[in-house]
A and B are shown apart, each in its own frame.
Chain A
Amino acid sequence: MNKLERVSKNFMKYRFMLVELIKKGVKLKYRRSYLGILWTLIEPLLTTIVLTVIFGMLLGRSGESYPVYILSGRLLYSFFSSATNGAMKSIRQNSGMIKKVYVPKYMYPLSSVIFNYVIFIISMIVLLGLMIFEGVFPTWRIFACIIPLIIILIMSGGVGLILATMNVFFRDIEYIWSVFLMMIMYGSAIFYYTDSIVEKSPSKAILFDINPLYACIRVFRDGVFGEAIHWNLVLYSGLFSVGCFLIGLIVFYKKQDDFILHL
């Protein structure tokens, strides 16, 4: 039996475990809160209102659909942030189980990325509602949004696998990553427009060009606002995420047998 066959057979055997872990993530996230799963809709809406008030009214940044602009960026960013954070901590959190019985360890980071993705997709409803409320009616170009949604899933999975592996050996990664995430947030143009910045000083464009998450958000917004898609950004972020995922898989696969010695 070759390796790939063995891995896929093992996956089939444990696929119910993956389903259970995803279910657990979604179920427990809002358990014991009165509004439950409704929070996936309310929370992004509330933060969008706060950001709109602060940046829109006080600092005078506005476009006609500024809230939609903010929400579309914020949703993607917060998925990326919670998925990578969850995946990073997943191995340590489940060390009790890993130390006692054999389990395919990649299930843990994978499940935490997927369960965050499920919540993320549910919260898309808010965006659709806000778009209609703000008068940004979806055109056929909205279907292009599927591309960045797939790319960001692969990217989060790859980054999550790398972080999960590193975090087993060095706990510092958790702190470093939270700073890094903040950097990504400010660099991804969630609540400001890049055009005016690039116009003023074209050299700053590189800051956005190298940020694959920004590329994802930009392409996603293209779809939302019914504009032509930036294929170069699709290509860049797509290649980046696939590369990330492959590296993540290799690193994880190579190091997973050592996990138990460090947990």
Chain B
Amino acid sequence: MILFYIYKVIDMGKPSVVVDNVSMRFNMNQEKVDSIKEYAMKMFKGQISHKEFWALKNVSFTLEPGDHLGILGTNGAGKSTLLKTVAGVMKPTEGTVSTRGKVVPLLELGAGFDKEYTGRENIFLYGAVLGYSKSFLESKYKEIVKFSELGDFINMPIKNYSSGMKARLGFSIATVVDPEILILDEVLSVGDAKFKQKSLKKVTGMFDKGVTVLFVSHSLRQVRKICNKAIVLDHGQIIKAGEIEEVALFYKRMLAANDGEDPNQVELLSLDKSLKQHRKEEVKKLKDELKESNDKLIEAQAEIERLKALVNNK
């Protein structure tokens, strides 16, 4: 028992995700060669030309347990590819990715469901694909059904489900474990407003347990809310990494520059905006104070009138 705790303490110090010099190459054929005949003909003519495309190039970073990393970048910058290499779906062409603990990717929930299967059967199938054991799934079965709010629908084939129901079931299965590493692509929008609230609560509950998070989003606001660290990818390369506020400012300026605006101007504008906001608040505060003293004045005047009347009566 003591040994276990010692092990845990030693364990805690180790990084939970190490991405070491990862590069990912795609061979882009001019047209997709899909048949042997085509392939043979092209080979014969010497036309097999691969246009190389590096979706990731020398990407390295290390995350400690409990780190929340935001991954920023424009479309096609390699964000999803990076997530896929961390999730183990893709093997990098060069470099290594090592992760410690259970990785749970919350990407396109319910992609692995079988239409003909009932909800119940799909829980075991999907759970098995995620690498959970039978006994574990059996012990968690009730919890999954309860969280998904499917009730009696659980014994119906999935093909009769609405897309919201499917997503709810997928979310419930994927999050039944306490992962060490959570992979999020865009923020979760599962089901109706009530379920959204519930799923968000579950995910933030995981954050509190010290899970390591990799989060991809276009929304800078969300990234700033969730993450403490961030990287910016551009054409497969990390162009900025560090603490969230620093990177967020860089990213904002980068986007502005891409739009052809002067980044300094944008910053000035945003400063100006916050200044205006600040002024507004100040003015409001003054107004409130003024109103308050005015009220007091009226009150005092009334008091004087009352006293005057009293004196006159005397």
Specify which of A19, A100, A172 is in contact with B89 (CB 8 Å cutoff). Answer: A100
Question: Is A58 among interface residues, defined by CB-CB distance under 8 A?
Answer: no
Question: Is A230 among interface residues, defined by CB-CB distance under 8 A?
Answer: no
A24 to B134, CA, bound (A): 15
Question: Is B289 among interface residues, defined by CB-CB distance under 8 A?
Answer: no
| Interface positions of A from 75 to 114, Cβ below 8 Å from B | 94, 96-103
Specify which of A24, A100, A172, A260 is in contact with B111 (CB 8 Å cutoff). Answer: A100
Kindly specify which of B30-38, B278-286, B306-314 makes contact with the partner chain.
B30-38
Shortest Cβ distance from A100 into B: residue:
B111
- With a cutoff of 8 Å between Cβ atoms, the chain A residues found around residue B73 in the complex are none
| Interface positions of A from 1 to 45, Cβ below 8 Å from B | 13-14, 16-17, 19-21, 24, 27-28, 31-32
| Interface positions of B from 79 to 113, Cβ below 8 Å from A | 87-91, 103, 105, 107-108, 111-112
Question: Is B130 among interface residues, defined by CB-CB distance under 8 A?
Answer: yes
A21 to B134, CA, bound (A): 13
- With a cutoff of 8 Å between Cβ atoms, the chain A residues found around residue B112 in the complex are 94, 96-97, 100-101
Question: Is B269 among interface residues, defined by CB-CB distance under 8 A?
Answer: no
- With a cutoff of 8 Å between Cβ atoms, the chain B residues found around residue A24 in the complex are 114, 117, 121, 125
Q: Is the CB of A257 within 8 A of B35?
A: no
Tally inter-chain residue pairs, CB-CB below 8 A.
71
- With a cutoff of 8 Å between Cβ atoms, the chain B residues found around residue A27 in the complex are 117, 121
Question: Is B129 among interface residues, defined by CB-CB distance under 8 A?
Answer: yes
Question: Is A206 among interface residues, defined by CB-CB distance under 8 A?
Answer: no
In the complex, per-residue mask of A224-255: 1 if CB is within 8 Å of any chain B CB, else 0: 00000000000000000000000000000000
Shortest distance between the CB of A96 and any CB in chain B (Å):
5
Residue of B89, B129, B131 contacting most chain A CB atoms (<10 Å): B129
Question: Is B61 among interface residues, defined by CB-CB distance under 8 A?
Answer: no
Residue count of chain A within 8 Å CB distance of chain B: 27
Question: Is A61 among interface residues, defined by CB-CB distance under 8 A?
Answer: no
- With a cutoff of 8 Å between Cβ atoms, the chain A residues found around residue B89 in the complex are 98-102, 260
Q: Is the CB of A13 within 8 A of B131?
A: yes
- With a cutoff of 8 Å between Cβ atoms, the chain A residues found around residue B121 in the complex are 24, 27
Q: With A16-B134, A28-B117, A96-B112 known to touch, is A101 a contact of B35 (CB < 8 Å)? A: no
Shortest distance between the CB of A182 and any CB in chain B (Å):
19
Q: With A28-B117, A171-B34 known to touch, is A17 a contact of B131 (CB < 8 Å)? A: yes
Shortest distance between the CB of A25 and any CB in chain B (Å):
10
A213 to B259, CA, bound (A): 66
Q: Is the CB of A20 within 8 A of B37?
A: no
Shortest Cβ distance from A175 into B: residue:
B35
Q: Is the CB of A101 within 8 A of B91?
A: no
A100 to B183, CA, bound (A): 11
Shortest Cβ distance from A98 into B: residue:
B89
A119 to B125, CA, bound (A): 20
Q: Is the CB of B34 within 8 A of A101?
A: no
A13 to B128, CA, bound (A): 9
Shortest Cβ distance from A261 into B: residue:
B26
Shortest Cβ distance from A104 into B: residue:
B131
A27 to B88, CA, bound (A): 30
Question: Is A170 among interface residues, defined by CB-CB distance under 8 A?
Answer: yes
Shortest Cβ distance from A94 into B: residue:
B112
Residue of B88, B91, B108, B131 contacting most chain A CB atoms (<10 Å): B131
Q: With A24-B114, A96-B112, A172-B37 known to touch, is A17 a contact of B87 (CB < 8 Å)? A: no
Specify which of A19, A31, A101, A171 is in contact with B87 (CB 8 Å cutoff). Answer: A101
A16 to B129, CA, bound (A): 9
- With a cutoff of 8 Å between Cβ atoms, the chain B residues found around residue A102 in the complex are 87-89, 103
Shortest distance between the CB of B127 and any CB in chain A (Å):
8
Question: Is B124 among interface residues, defined by CB-CB distance under 8 A?
Answer: yes
A24 to B198, CA, bound (A): 32
- With a cutoff of 8 Å between Cβ atoms, the chain B residues found around residue A31 in the complex are 116
Question: Is B133 among interface residues, defined by CB-CB distance under 8 A?
Answer: yes
Q: Is the CB of A171 within 8 A of B105?
A: no
A6 to B154, CA, bound (A): 36
- With a cutoff of 8 Å between Cβ atoms, the chain B residues found around residue A100 in the complex are 89, 105, 107-108, 111-112
- What are 9 A-to-B residue pairs whose CB atoms are below 8 Å? A14-B131, A16-B133, A19-B128, A20-B128, A27-B121, A100-B105, A102-B87, A172-B37, A260-B89
- With A101-B129, A261-B26 given, can you name 4 additional A-B contacts, CB distance below 8 Å? A20-B125, A20-B129, A170-B34, A172-B36
Give 8 closest A-B pairs by Cβ, nearest first.
A102-B88, A97-B112, A17-B128, A20-B128, A257-B91, A172-B35, A100-B111, A96-B111
Q: Which residues does B use to contact A, with CB under 8 Å?
A: 26-27, 34-37, 39, 87-91, 103, 105, 107-108, 111-112, 114, 116-117, 121, 124-125, 128-134
